[in-house]
A and B are shown apart, each in its own frame.
Chain A
């Protein structure tokens, strides 16, 4: 065992990646803004500095631990260094802390106090940049950004997306989507990992509590709620309970105290999902079609698939997410009962659910199935502002008929849960699948069911999903079912649960869910008696027409560059030769606009208007060879204005 001296004390270490981990394991807290063990080392906040024996100052996050090293962590020099660094950060920060949404949970605030920074000697934050409120889920406030880059790295490294990055230099540096676009205009999947990693309020969840309050005090509305499974093991944390502690009854009690008429359990629809999805899987296996089946409960994943993998959309389960199933079912039930003004609020661990609920395809006659989505953090703030004392609340049960779930529905909140629930449904007997449990990013499992081997893969974190799909595409792996959750660890690590990511919390929460599952009377979704009744009364059978209407959906490619042609003729001539000139950014900067004009001119001069249909298009995805054009089915790269005559040369005017 190797060891080093930290502040004169011998500390042993083994596999720690860097000095910072050794120091923290030794029980000494060093402040950091830009260090997360699961992300790459960035080394920009310069707070984790330590001093070696020679008096050299080293950033401990990037220094490998050395056997026999002697370091000091809190010398006067280091303390002053950290205070000054904090002071510099504060000077350029929009310091309206008292009214800031992050106040109380802000790391900048916390470290300011902890390091004893009591004044700022420099000028003020002088440039006020506009907020980006374009996203249905997130709000970006560049004035609060301290440029630690955590959001940039989590988006790039964990999710493999990278919709935000650094722009500009020096004191003008900023984190922004490319070309200063809004989040809604880029491929953001609203997963919210950037929010949970942001130490300040530069990235926040878009709050909907105002809408909910208004609905609660609107006499014409019946306000009901649904609560996601991950909430029961995490919500209590806002009121001092340990992660993993079950607080379902208190949550229902609190919602009732706030004025909700009825409170339902989203897990009920998790059970329903299992039934519908299993039917779907069985059919696909029987037809040997559209396999693997990708799960569709995670809206961030679904959006990513729509953006990135249009060709796999047929593989996505057509099941709506449990939230949307419950939304449509509740609205349908109340409609049948003659009550029309129902307002559905869902309480979620998730930010992507907000965007999902606003998708027009989940609305009937312009009324959304789920009217508002609030996160656990938002609900906690509502409880606090209503003066409700959580600890003293009466524990209440969920309301029927959508308040009864099996253990299978409960474990939807953790990675592997959906797969385990489906396996339980497919295979009578075994009800605990240890193999698919655990928080690792990729799990594989195969088992025999119905006389056939079922191969399953479970991924969480979009980068892991991308890697897996690459393996599937290259033929290195085949599966029957692939479960994808955007948040590493699943919903129990959702960005709506707490202000900072914490793997230890995630582990405790997932243990809580499995514990709850183990205590359930029913652990298989098809055994849920309420579901049986629902099919009998309303839906008929799994996959029925009614079930499709209420529980299933369809997907469409969101590839921004897909099929966006701009024609210039009023009516494209029939049987014409199609020429498409790419005017995407890359081609445009390489002169494709001139190229387009050249074509336009030449076509007119050669009287080829009847023969050629000229279109501008966006991105043929061969940017490195730009400017590109497409003639018929053929893409030509590196086309010059001088090539135009040659390309048109084979054509003669129509007689």
Chain B
């Protein structure tokens, strides 16, 4: 079963492609974590049962020529609303909100008769989209690393091979020297997708140059930014691409062992990766004597216990070594002395997933995508106040405007776009003025934001930017490891001040202290988490200072979000004096005589809003 030569690989690849061709119709169910949550597995099983009953089911089999329908567990489709999703190829129908009851009809109408079911198709503004590729959300995207996600069976190595999988590895070990591989990655100008944007080729070359008896490759899958799930989707939807990238990394850097560090909250990713590792070993893409070249490389999954800071390179290594997950001082750098004190190549999931494509299609091809010095694409988790949210992938240099309005479909409910938060708790908030800003490492850096791992939250005028900053600060504060003083103590105090401000107890002096502290935490912290902890505050202070001023000076929240700053008033002309509000008020803050207008005693009011919800006459207003 093990591949021993390029010819052997070609034979296998042909077999896989032919087997895939034998499946004249391919049915993909969005079998990722999000899909499972809304019943994708049930839909899968139902479809399986029905297609088998019809005698049409054709599992992928390299040695039998059976034709029929292939049913697959695909990874994330990208679009997060309307799951479970079913994509039927070659028609490219995308069915939304598929239920078990719909399956019989799908089998009969679509799979047997070849016709779409209109009620299940994606609709937008009166248009029914018959093909997934035509949906505006997908149309504007360029899917490279997410190319296989949702398009192939995430649990089948043969399907991955049919798409050219492991050909990059074969090319490396049969035709290239480690130096050439490193050079190729350097030429591609691939930059680390974990957030820092460090040139991957330079890192690979540094590890390669180290003299050591052992070296390691680590894939950082400890994706922790709130609302970010790019890496999860890649690991769930195309685990082999990550593994192939790592094996190539091992070959290029001279490492024989690798770890994939995945947070334990990603059980499906762990399961799919483990399955993929086993499959790859069977074919000889992993393990001893890879592809019969004498090169050894094996992998182990290391599960993280959920600390955000373990996504930081050195803390991650400590965690793998069984120690407390805290960052250590550098130098020595990871490439010199990393895991178990050995030279270590550490990249994140998306970075490794890019590698097989670069090797296969060449660095020139990769450089042709994206903007100068920022080649390739970037996956983002688009969320917040946009009509279509989900996992997207765009060429570097795409503008915020294009992402928000063309892919995301703009802000819903006729609200006004206010900001986009990028980079998670380490990132910053950008405004309308930045809608034409190209999204790449350098442009973001210039405006005080950062790429981060790829969280992108669109914010409309219903959100309070002070509250947004407070939220991120509370996240960072909770996730601080507690090692260095500026981060441990500084975030605690910044959060205190932010809480004071949203509670209406802040002063203008607080703003000055915030700025002062932000500087201290940024300059003084030991690791990236601390250094960037103040970014949400600094960027909102920079672009939305007026909102802060309203909070501290007028004690008003312009967006009406900060509850403690709102005032509830009873409109005397509408109030019928029914006393319902008085009865329900938990603070006994409402007084009045039945059948006469009631009034709220502002000093006692705790701004819970229960009276407003209770009033049958809509006589209570929030100001």
Give the interface of A toward B (CB within 8 A): 41-46, 49, 57, 59, 61-64, 77, 80-81, 84-85, 88-89, 91-92, 121-123, 146-147, 149, 165-166, 168-173
Q: How far is the CA of A59 from the CA of B524 in the complex (A)?
A: 8
Q: Is B45 an interface residue, CB under 8 A from the partner?
A: no
**Which chain A residues lie closer than 8 Å to B481 at the CB level?**
169-170, 173
Q: Which of B190-198, B513-521, B591-599 contacts A (4 or more CB under 8 A)?
A: B513-521
Residues of A within 8 A of B563 (CB): none
Query: Is B331 part of the contact surface with A, judged by Cβ < 8 Å?
Result: yes
In the bound complex, what is the Cα–Cα distance between A57 and B526 (angstroms)? Answer: 11
A-B contact pairs, 27 of them (CB 8 A): A41-B329, A43-B526, A44-B485, A45-B484, A45-B485, A46-B484, A49-B524, A57-B523, A59-B329, A62-B331, A64-B331, A77-B523, A81-B524, A84-B486, A84-B517, A88-B493, A146-B485, A165-B324, A166-B324, A166-B326, A170-B477, A170-B478, A170-B488, A170-B491, A171-B477, A173-B481, A173-B483
Candidates A49, A57, A77, A147; contact of B488 at CB < 8 Å: A147
Which residues on the B side are within 8 Å of A122 (C-beta)? Answer: 493, 496
Task: Compute how far the CA of A135 lies from the CA of B491 in the bound complex, rounded to whole angstroms.
Answer: 35
In the bound complex, CA of A43 to CA of B489 (Å): 15
B488 adjacent to A171 (CB under 8 Å): yes
With both beta carbons as reference points, the residue of chain A lying nearest to B495 in the complex is identified as: A171
Residues facing A in B515-541 (CB within 8 A) are 516-517, 519-520, 523-526
Tell me, rounded to whole Å, the shortest Cβ–Cβ distance linking A48 to chain B.
11
B442 interfacial by beta-carbon distance below 8 Å: no
Q: How far is the CB of A57 from chain B (nearest CB, A)?
A: 5
A305 to chain B, nearest CB (A): 28
Other-chain residue from B328, B482, B486 in contact with A172 (beta carbon distance below 8 A): B482
The one of B478, B490, B523 that contacts A88, using a Cβ cutoff of 8 Å: B490
Question: In the bound complex, do residue A43 and residue B329 qualify as a contact, i.e. CB atoms below 8 Å apart?
Answer: yes
CB–CB B493/A91 < 8 A? yes
Closest 8 CB pairs of A and B: A173-B482, A43-B329, A88-B489, A62-B329, A84-B520, A170-B480, A171-B492, A46-B524
B343-371 contact mask (Cβ, 8 Å, vs A): 1 or 0:
00000000000000000000000000000
Min CB–CB distance A524 → chain B (angstroms):
49
What chain A residues lie within 8 Å of B478 (beta carbons)? 170
Known: A43-B526, A61-B329, A121-B513. A169 touches B482 (CB 8 A): yes
Contact of B482 among A57, A64, A91, A171 (CB under 8 A): A171
Complex CA distance for A76 and B477, rounded to whole angstroms: 28
Tell me, rounded to whole Å, the shortest Cβ–Cβ distance linking A47 to chain B: 8
Residues of B near A89 (CB, < 8 A) are 485, 489
> B496–A85 contact, CB under 8 A?
no
Total interface residues on B, using CB and 8 Å?
Answer: 33
Q: How far is the CB of B478 from chain A (nearest CB, A)?
A: 6
Chain B CB within 10 Å, residue with most, of A43, A64, A147, A170: A170
Determine how close the nearest CB of chain B comes to the CB of A407; give it in whole angstroms.
Answer: 46
Within the complex, what minimum Cβ distance (angstroms) separates A260 from chain B?
45
Q: Which residue of B lies closest to A166 (CB)?
A: B324
CB-CB under 8 A from B485, the residues of chain A are: 44-46, 85, 88-89, 146-147
Contact of B307 among A64, A80, A169 (CB under 8 A): A169
Selected from A49, A63, A81, A146, the residue in CB contact (under 8 A) with B331 is: A63
Q: Beyond the given A88-B493, A92-B489, A171-B488, could you list 11 further A-B residue pairs with CB under 8 A, ordered by the A residue number?
A: A46-B484, A46-B526, A63-B331, A81-B520, A84-B516, A84-B524, A85-B486, A169-B482, A170-B488, A171-B477, A173-B483
Is B63 engaged at the interface, CB distance under 8 Å to the other chain? no
Q: Is the interface of A mostly helix, strand, loop or mixed?
A: loop
The interface of chain B, by Cβ under 8 A from chain A, is: 307, 324, 326, 328-331, 477-486, 488-493, 496, 513, 516-517, 519-520, 523-526
Which chain A residues border B493 with CB–CB below 8 Å? 88, 91, 122-123
CB neighbours (8 Å) of A61 from chain B are 329
- Residues in chain B near residue A172, CB distance under 8 A: 482
A173 adjacent to B488 (CB under 8 Å)? yes
- Once A44-B526, A147-B488 are accepted as A-B contacts, the answer to whether A88 and B520 lie under 8 Å apart by CB is yes
Bound complex: CA A165 to CA B490 (Å): 22
Tell me the smallest distance from the CB of A480 to a CB of chain B, in Å: 37
Question: Contacts A169-B480, A171-B477: A85 and B526 contacting too (C-beta < 8 A)?
Answer: no
A84 to B493, CA, bound (A): 12
Which residues of chain A have C-beta atoms less than 8 A from B523's C-beta? 49, 57, 77, 81
Give which listed residue, B482, B516, B520, contacts A147 with CB less than 8 A: B482
The complex places the Cα of A365 from the Cα of B483 at a distance, in Å, of: 50
Q: Which B residues are in CB contact (< 8 Å) with A43?
A: 328-329, 484, 526
**Chain B residues with CB under 8 A of A80:** 520
Instruction: With A122-B496, A123-B496, A171-B480 as known contacts, state yes or no: A46 contacts B329, CB within 8 Å.
Output: no
Q: Which residue of A lies closest to B476 (CB)?
A: A170
Find chain A residues with CB under 8 A from B484 CB: 43-46
> A173 — which chain B residues lie within 8 A by C-beta?
481-483, 488
Cα(A607)–Cα(B483), bound, Å: 57
Residue of B nearest to A47 (CB): B485
In whole angstroms, how far apart are the Cα atoms of A146 and B482 in the complex?
11
Please indicate the chain B residues that have their CB under 8 angstroms from the CB of A169 in the complex.
307, 479-482
Taking the closest CB of chain B, its distance from the CB of A244, in whole angstroms, is 36
CA–CA, A44 and B530, complex, Å: 12
Q: Are A57 and B477 in contact (CB under 8 A)?
A: no
Q: Is A168 within 8 A of B482, CB to CB?
A: yes
Alpha-carbon separation in the docked complex, A147 to B489 (Å): 11
Instruction: Give every chain B residue within 8 A of A81 (Cβ-Cβ).
Output: 519-520, 523-524
Contact A92 B492 (CB under 8 A): yes
Q: Which chain B positions have C-beta within 8 A of A170?
A: 477-482, 488, 491-492
CA distance A80 to B515 in the complex (A): 13
State in angstroms the CA–CA spacing of A88 and B490 once bound together: 6
Q: Is the CB of B329 within 8 A of A42?
A: yes
List, in ascending order, chain B residues with CB within 8 A of A49's CB: 523-524
A88 to B489 CA separation, bound complex (whole angstroms): 6
CA separation between A146 and B485, bound complex, in Å? 9
- Measured in the bound complex, the distance between the Cα atoms of B488 and A45 in whole Å is 11
A264 to B159: give the CA distance in the assembly, Å. Answer: 88
Q: In the assembled complex, which residues on chain A have CB atoms less than 8 Å from the CB atom of B517?
A: 84
Contacts of B489 in A (CB 8 A): 88-89, 91-92, 171
Q: A40 to nearest B CB, angstroms?
A: 9
A172 to B307, CA, bound (A): 14
Q: Which residues of A contact B483 (CB under 8 A)?
A: 44, 147, 149, 173
B501 to chain A, nearest CB (A): 14
- In the complex formed, the residue of A with least CB distance to B309 is A169
Q: In the bound complex, how far is the Cα of B478 from the Cα of A168, in angstroms?
A: 11
A57 touches B329 (CB 8 A): no
What CA separation (Å) do A168 and B483 show in the bound complex? 11
How far is A45 from B482 in the complex, measured between Cα atoms in Å? 11
Distance in angstroms between the alpha carbons of A552 and B493 in the assembled complex: 58
Contact partners of A121 in chain B: CB under 8 A: 513
Roughly how many angstroms separate A85 CA and B493 CA in the complex, as a whole number? 12
How far apart are the CA atoms of A122 and B524 in the complex, in Å?
Answer: 18
A543 CB, nearest partner CB in chain B, Å: 49
Q: How far is the CB of A200 from chain B (nearest CB, A)?
A: 13
* Residue contact A85 to B329, C-beta cutoff 8 Å: no
CB distance from A321 to the nearest CB of B (A): 37
Nearest A residue to B513 via CB reads A121
* Complex Cα spacing A62 to B331, Å: 7
Inter-chain CA distance A243–B489, complex, in Å, is 38
CB distance from B492 to the nearest CB of A (A): 4
Decide if B486 touches A88 in the complex (CB within 8 Å): yes
Give the shortest distance, in Å, between A67 (CB) and chain B (any CB).
16
Q: Give min CB distance, A18 to chain B, whole Å.
A: 10
A366 to B195, CA, bound (A): 68
Residues of A within 8 A of B328 (CB): 43
Query: Separation in Å of the A175 CB from the closest CB of chain B?
Result: 10
- Chain A residue at minimal CB-CB distance from B490: A88
Write out the residue numbers on chain B whose beta carbons fall within 8 Å of the beta carbon of A64.
331
Min distance, Cβ A447 to any Cβ of chain B, angstroms: 40
Nearest chain B CB to A277 CB, angstrom units: 42
Contacts of B482 on A, CB cut-off 8 Å?
Answer: 147, 166, 168-173
